[in-house]
Chains A and B, each alone.
Chain A
Amino acid sequence: MNSRPVSILLYLVVMWLIVQLAVNGAASMGYNWQWYRIPQYILAQTDNGIQPGELVTGLVRTVDLTVRSFLLAVALGLVVALLRLSSLVIGVAVATGFLEFIRNLPLLVLLYLIYYVCGPVFGLDRYTASIVCLAVYHSVLISEIFRAGILAVSAGQWEAAQSIGMSRAQSYCYIILPQSIRFVLPPLTGEAVHLIKSSAIVSVIAVAELTTMGRNIISDTFMSFEVWLTVAAIYLVMTLMLSIFVTRLERKFSVASR
């Protein structure tokens, strides 16, 4: 028996039940659906022609925030991983301390610390503080991914690199890290998806990204059902697209690096 059609059918039935439940629930509490008002928040018709609506502006902000923090997080994560694997006692101590400190704080508290404490001290605006917070938080997780990826390369590769006279830095650069990419890429993407999702938290310090925009619209219009469903759908589309892209990338990579 082919289980795929069965599971798809089951999925559709469950989803239909959930939607029915929501619609009936909304109807019984007398909710006034106003879906027709949503499109203007995606693409707005103004005097100057068609402009991106508030949700799209927020989406652009979210993407910008995510890309910047992700790049910073990858760089920072690599540094932390290399420090932890180094033979420098101080390097290992600093990296481990950083790791344990960040990993054991709630993301929200970290954001408050960076925005309300480091912000005034170092003069960070709310957008920079958000980028720093997300980058620092995810760099810790990414450093573990890098560490595992580096350790997955066999010790013989180090010995071979050293035996042709390479320094530690050269061995990392030309021999070890290129081979780690294969191990690192899948979990790193998972982390990118995770980062998109955790970027929503910066709405608490009123950075004008997707979640904040959604909340602002609701405070004007009271359409909480429609707006949150739309916002959730936008996040879902974004993360799913990323996942699909990476699956393709991975397949290409596994062929190229063999």
Chain B
Amino acid sequence: MTQPNPIIDIRGLNKHFGDFQALSQVDLSVETGEKVVICGPSGSGKSTLIRCINCLEDYSSGSLIVNGVKLSEDNRDIRVVRMEVGMVFQQFNLFPHLTVLGNLTIGMVRVRKMSRTDAEERARHYLERVHIPEQADKYPEQLSGGQQQRVAIARALCMEPKIMLFDEPTSALDPEMINEVLDVMTELAATGMTMICVTHEMGFARRVADKMVFMEGGSIEEIAPPEVFFSKPESARCRMFLDRILVH
């Protein structure tokens, strides 16, 4: 698939942690509005890959262009990119010393330099979008895991990013809370947001993904549209992996 002008363009990306090669020769391009779901066994480099896109990890060699900016050592470029890329973490990483509203507004006020009233208005709008407008004045620890993760999604959305990255957003949640988070993500996908999700929620992947990516041992083993990916994957390893997680 060669499409013009991808919003994320990764070519020959390598990443080493000392002697360990976390990513080897990764190629991936993502169109504006495309939804990509990355899966694979633990330690396969999924998280490392999306953390590279947000510059939370630097890479050893290769090229990585996000929203037209080539990511390099230059600090200023990194911040320009980060403002366009929202990130949702497995452990939520909400700011415990701020209320929900504070968590949402601090980026807008301090980074985007918005006025506090504008920021609060936008924050309430996004809290509405993630279905927890009534929790605005609580502190993160007063919320359930599912609510916390939805606040984290709203916090990222408040920066009005062009791309949203999700790093196993439901892995730390109790089972009964997974769906409320996936619902919010599905609704977000419907708005046309470009999304890259590392997740093992295959139901969600089937519903939402335009492109499935399977990683193992730091490299991409398979890229396919979900219809093909789930019915007849080319790679034997990918088939084994799917068999294992789709049994139940």
Question: Which residues of A are in contact with B by a Cβ distance under 8 Å?
Answer: 154, 156-157, 159-167, 170, 174-175, 178-179, 257-258
Contact = CB atoms under 8 A, between A and B. Distances in A.
B110 A179 contact: no
Contacts of A159: 56, 87, 89, 93
B136 interface: no
A156 B141 CA distance: 16
A179 B97 contact: yes
Interface string B42-78: 0000000000001110000000000000000000000
Given A156-B89, A175-B95, A257-B97, A166 B54 contact: no
Contacts of B97: 178-179, 257
A156 B156 CA distance: 15
A170 B112 CA distance: 12
Contacts of B225: none
B110 A258 contact: no
Contact of B141 (A165, A170, A258): A258
Contacts of A257: 96-97
A258 B56 contact: no
Given A156-B91, A257-B97, A165 B156 contact: no
A174 B98 CA distance: 10
B220 interface: no
A165 to B, nearest CB: 4
A150 to B, nearest CB: 14
Contacts, number: 63
B159 interface: yes
Contacts of A166: 107, 110-111
B106 interface: yes
Interface string B93-117: 1111100000000110011100000
B173 interface: no
Contact of B159 (A154, A164, A167, A175): A164
Given A163-B56, A174-B110, A179-B97, 12 more contacts: A157-B93, A159-B56, A159-B89, A159-B93, A163-B54, A165-B82, A165-B83, A165-B112, A174-B106, A175-B95, A175-B106, A179-B96
B139 interface: yes
B90 to A, nearest CB: 9
A175 B95 CA distance: 7
B122 interface: no
B155 interface: yes
Nearest to B109: A174
12 contacts: A156-B91, A159-B89, A160-B87, A160-B94, A160-B95, A161-B95, A163-B87, A164-B82, A164-B111, A165-B111, A174-B110, A178-B97
